[in-house]
Structure 1
Amino acid sequence: MDKFLKRQTMVGESSSSQNLPADPGIRPKISEYHPNIHDEIRRAYLQKGPCQPRKHNFPQRKFGNTMCRFNPEWFTEFGNWLEYSISKDAIYCLCCYLMRTESGEQGSGDAFIVGGFTNWKKKERLGVHIGGPHSSHNQAWANCEALMKQDRHIERIRIQLIAVVNCIRFLLRQGLAFRGHDESNNSMNQGNFLELLKFLCVHNETIDRACKNAHKNVKLTSPDIQKDIVCAATSETTRSIINDLGNDLFAILVDESRDISVKEQMVVVLRQGYDGASNMRGEFNGLKSLILKKNQSAFYVHCFAHQLQLALIAVAKKQVEIASLFNLVATLTNVVGASCKRRDILRKKHANVIREGLENGEISSGRGLNQEITLKRSGDTHWENGINSEQRAEAHSLLCSMQSFEFIFNLHLMRKVLRITHELSQALQRDDQNIVNAMSLVKDTLLEKVFGFCEKHEVAIPNMDENFIAPGRSRRKLPQVSNLHHFQVEIFYQVIDWQLKELNDRFSEINTELLICVACLSSRDSFSLFDKKKLVQLAKLYPRDFSSVELLALDAQLENYILDMCSDSDFDELTSIVRALILLVATATVERTFSAMNIIKNKLRNRMEDEWLNDCLITYLERNVFDTIENEKIVQRFQNMSTRRGQL
């Protein structure tokens, strides 16, 4: 048994011929090797060829009164199979050693396989060993030729398979479809996969030859094989991510959305926290409760950027004037967007305004700046000259609304609010943004520029000291307030108050406490935010990690911590919190997943199965990991997924 294991290990380490005994007199039988490597052993010997030491000093043997020795010229006459053993001073048959079955007889019995033939006076016995067309020797030789042809066939399949994997890699990274409407040979619309494979064949002779010489029953280009290869690539990508994660701390982001076929899909991200569970519908509802049952310290932290968006939406819905503003902007967008002529007019006017502003130094140039303009002077646009009365009436109504002081005031108000919150939202969606940095961005005030804007664009400005008159409403039923009070208190202050209220309602007390406590670990300004009491309170939120005894010791440990931090120069350059607590600050990964889902599963691919969608999404989203996976690993995973005709 030990002998068998030693041989198996030796061959398993390397299939090259130098690791196998060359002398036929000391070789083990093929049957003594593990069955899984029989063909590997045979290929190695056939590639090396028969053992023929032509320069050896062959010893003499005595046959009766005559001394004879092996004639090396026999190597030339029987060169494709004849072997000589130096250790046994005997000749053997390579093809019979490799392929002869245990049963059956042939010329000279087992002499050319086991004991070796040594009767140098009987050269004719070599011809007897070869025998007729159906002899054991010739059958063994035919099997050897078939094995080598199979080896070449497998090599061609492997070349074709690697080409297929490379095509799939490209399509997965770009999020492109595989199939075409007609994949027949003469079709002009075979789809991205076959077209790309054809391109590789045109520019690579080896791939072209392998594909053309492949047997008709090789189905490496079939949709089923494509899906298996993509599944293998996904498995290797996932395995790489899990291995990289190792024993590190992690949390879960979870969210759901409906795809193009109105089917509910869920994304799970192992990263910073779990998100959106309270808003989930359908089959995934209650995920937050399930997680909390398993771990009460798995605090729910909703997507910060999403909460900010929800707060702004709530403000727009509550304030009638602001809601009317968004409705008017939506109507204006529809009117302009419905006509190419109107868009061209707007672009032309916009270009003139930008050119004038740049010349006067009123606006700045730069990438992404001043790409659109939404308001013109009276008479700048001529949509009132529509082809029918309905268009003229609609354009007139829009212009009247746009040129009112109230519209301009509300527009500037929300423009300023959205500009502030946009900066915060972008920060919250950055993967590298930490909690303290994100919280420090809310430091702006709203500046009034409405008067200057109205004067520039010739819009009438109401007297701020006069009473405000609400359009279409009786003055007697309303309290008399000035225009200044209406715009400053009833709109501006109310919008700000509602926004603050919405933010306070949506950012729960536990979230706020977590953020404040974690901020105490910030190294900014020589740890100026350090607060021992708050850090102890943070530890109390995790009773499984900190016992009552450990909490008592934590007070002194934190004293030592801050002393070490402040006195050690290695920490002078620290500007952020590193792994103090895995909390969700940026959830862009989840949103990018849903955006990618709309790319992968679109109107033309709306019948994708969930497993196929999952595999395509993982490799598309995790391209940086997918790119590191070698083709060999994908091929081996593909090979092991099911029984294949040949080991690749």
Structure 2
Amino acid sequence: MRYLQKGHSQPHNHKFLKSKSGDYERSFQRSWFDKYLYWLEYSVENDAAYCLCCYLFKPDKGEQSGAKQNEEYRLAALEKALRHDKLIAPSIQKDIINAFAVETINKLISDLGDAFFSILVDEARDGSNKEQMIIILLYVNKRGCVVECLFIIMHITDTTALSLKMGIETLFSKYNLSISILRGQGYDGASNIHRDLLNEKQAWKVKKAIESGELSTGQGLNQDTSLKRPGETRWGSHFGTLLSLINLFSFVIEVLEDFTENSDNGVEANLQLSELNSRFNEGNTELLICMASLNPSDYFKAFDKGKLVRFAQFYPLEFSSTDLMTLELKLDNYIDDMRSDSDFSELNDITSLAQKMVEKKKHLIYSLVYLLITLALTLPVAITSVERAFSAMKIVKTHLRNRMRDQFLNDSLIPYVEKDLFDSVDKEIVMQ
């Protein structure tokens, strides 16, 4: 371990020799040490560059860095050490990955601070056909940037609202997150369990029909079908969805009847029905219309003082009656300042407006307006980050690695998805 404690060999003051390569003379560049700080080594004796990680985990590559500690490390850590104490042991490598995942999440929590945030929740099946729930944290950081980060991926036994609520509360308690600063929840789940029930009903009906002679058997007959998900922009996909709904209408009705007959599922079905009915009610529509008044494009053409005051009224915990009166007075100064400042003339969206206000310190002058902007940006209206996390899950846990445990899957996904946060983790803390 003395080699690690001494640090990798990066002789910044060494005069690197030039060697002819073709028609040019080339040499090692000192700036590479800063660019590849954690893994690049240079051997003065051999006039060659090496990878520290390759050396530590592949001892059969020979001597590097010209240091005697290399051989001592190889003997102590890779040959004489007990099997479970070796850095190449799976248990040790999993501990290292877990430490990096924990520190990455700690970086996320530190960056969040006491800012308002929302969560995006969804679930899907992994390579071993297990239901995995992913939670994405959405907030505006101190630089005015919107951040969507993978918070956790965890296995769930069912997708009922009560189970998800308990899982989220446990998670909040573990990381000391206050529900009082939670300002939105986006959930796009339960589709898998509904699809399974629908397929089971269809398969049972087909089986009964074959047994009674109502259907004939043969290649290509009685294949599984399911409800098609409509695309966002293609009307043809909507037509296909309607056709599949007509084809499976009787099965859909039976699934819904089963949900209402069962007390637990009936509650869940009613909750989902209420959610669908309220997704685009008058209140939500008015909220989106008011929020559009913050758009800075075309010299704040969409600005509407009355709508912004109305927008603030949707958040009574953040805006008292006194704050609303102050906001109404501040909005006149705000819009005059924005339209007269050339730095804000070419902005096209609310995200760039938030960043520019922080950059120019305007968020301190118009703190109530900036609060409106952050609340608008934390509305959970997008799930692209969730889909990216699921895509990464399919890469990390494939059908060839379907025995991967849940904790190892979570620890592997967090650094893989959140590469920027992972790169900022202090390696010294992980080593300790």
SS of alignment partner, residue 234 of structure 2: helix
- Aligned: 1:245 with 2:112: yes
Q: Which runs of 5+ in 1 are unaligned?
A: 1-153, 163-192, 314-389, 395-413, 423-502, 637-648
Whole-Å separation in 2 of the counterparts to 1:224 and 1:157 = 20
Partner of 1:572 in structure 2? 345
How far off is 1:223 after superposition?
A: 2.0
User: What's 1:622 paired with?
Assistant: 418
After TM superposition, list the pairs within 5 Å mapping 1:441-480 onto structure 2: none
TM-score (norm 2): 0.50
Sequence identity percentage: 40
Equivalence for 1:550: 323
Alignment-mate amino acid for residue 339 of structure 2: C
Greater share of strand? 2
State the 1:630 CA deviation. Answer: 4.4
1:284 equivalenced with 2:284 (yes/no): no
Please report how far the alpha carbon of residue 520 of structure 1 lies from its aligned counterpart in structure 2 after TM superposition. 0.1
Q: Does the 8 Å contact 2:121/2:185 carry over to 1?
A: no
Q: Tell me how far apart the structure 1 counterparts of residues 63 and 415 of structure 2 sit (CA, whole Å).
A: 26
Match of 1:538 in 2: 311
In 1, distance between residues paired with 2:420 and 2:95? 21
Check conservation: 1:253, 1:274, Cα contact below 8 A: no
Length, aligned pairs only: 271
- Work out which of the residue numbers 169, 173, 197 in structure 1 matches 2:57: 197
TM alignment of 1:70-149, pairs within 5 A: none
Distance in structure 1 (CA, Å) of the matches to 2:391 and 2:103: 24
Give the equivalent residue in structure 2 for 1:213.
Answer: 75
Tell whether the 8 Å contact from 1:597 to 1:617 is kept in structure 2 after alignment. yes
Describe the shift of the 1:564–1:159 C-alpha distance in structure 2 as closer, same or farther (beyond 3 A): closer
Give the conservation status (yes or no) of the 8 Å contact 2:120–2:185. Answer: no
Inter-partner Cα distance in structure 2 for 1:416 and 1:546? 36
Q: Distance in 1 between matches of 2:325 and 2:58?
A: 71
Assess if the C-alpha contact under 8 Å between 1:254 and 1:269 holds in 2: yes
Larger Rg: 1
Q: 1:246 to 1:417 in 2, by over 3 A?
A: closer
Residues 1:201 and 1:233: Cα distance change in structure 2 (over 3 Å): farther
3-state SS in 2 of match to 1:256? strand
Give the aligned residue type for 2:183: A
Is residue 234 from structure 1 mapped to residue 101 from structure 2 by the alignment?
yes
Between the aligned partners of 1:608 and 1:539, the Cα distance in structure 2 is 47
Select the residue among 393, 418, 425 that pairs with 2:234. Answer: 418
Equivalence for 2:198: none
Distance 1:598 1:300 in 2: 25
Matched, 1:606 2:422: no
CA shift digits 1:407-457 (9 cap, x unpaired): xxxxxxx999528999xxxxxxxxxxxxxxxxxxxxxxxxxxxxxxxxxxx
User: How many angstroms apart in 2 are the aligned matches of 1:227 and 1:564?
Assistant: 54
Quote how far apart the aligned CAs of 1:257 are.
Answer: 2.4
CA distance in 1, matches of 2:389, 2:56: 26
- 1:504: how far off? 9.3
Using structure 1 for the length normalisation, give the TM-score. Answer: 0.35
Would the aligned equivalents of 2:97 and 2:412 in 1 still touch at CA under 8 Å?
Answer: yes
Q: In the TM superposition, what whole-angstrom CA distance separates every residue of 1:331-382 from its partner, at most 9, and x where no partner exists?
A: xxxxxxxxxxxxxxxxxxxxxxxxxxxxxxxxxxxxxxxxxxxxxxxxxxxx
The answer to whether the aligner puts 1:255 opposite 2:101 as a matched pair is no
Q: Distance in 1 between matches of 2:7 and 2:335?
A: 62
- Of 421, 429, 432, the match for 1:633: 429
In the alignment, what sits opposite 1:51? none
The one-letter amino acid paired with 1:213 is L
Give the Cα separation in 2 of the matches to 1:199 and 1:217.
Answer: 14
Decide whether the 8 Å contact of 1:297 with 1:541 is kept in 2: no
Over 3 Å counting, the alpha-carbon distance change for 1:263 and 1:631 in structure 2 is: same
Aligned letter for 2:127? I
Paired amino acid for 1:281: T
Match of 1:16 in 2: none
Q: Which residue is equivalent to 1:522? A: 295
Distance 1:511 1:617 in 2: 34
Structure 2: stretches of 5+ with no match in the other structure? 10-52, 140-147, 151-157, 173-177, 196-217, 221-229, 239-275, 355-372
1:492 alignment partner in structure 2: none
Cα distance change on mapping 1:264 and 1:509 into 2, 3 Å: farther
Instruction: Provide the alpha-carbon RMSD of the alignment.
Output: 4.8
- How far apart are 1:301 and its partner, in Å? 4.6
| Higher-RCO chain (CA-CA 8 Å, sequence separation at least 6) | 2
Contact preservation (8 Å) 1:251, 1:274? no
Flag the 1:617–1:550 CA change in 2: closer, same or farther, 3 A: same
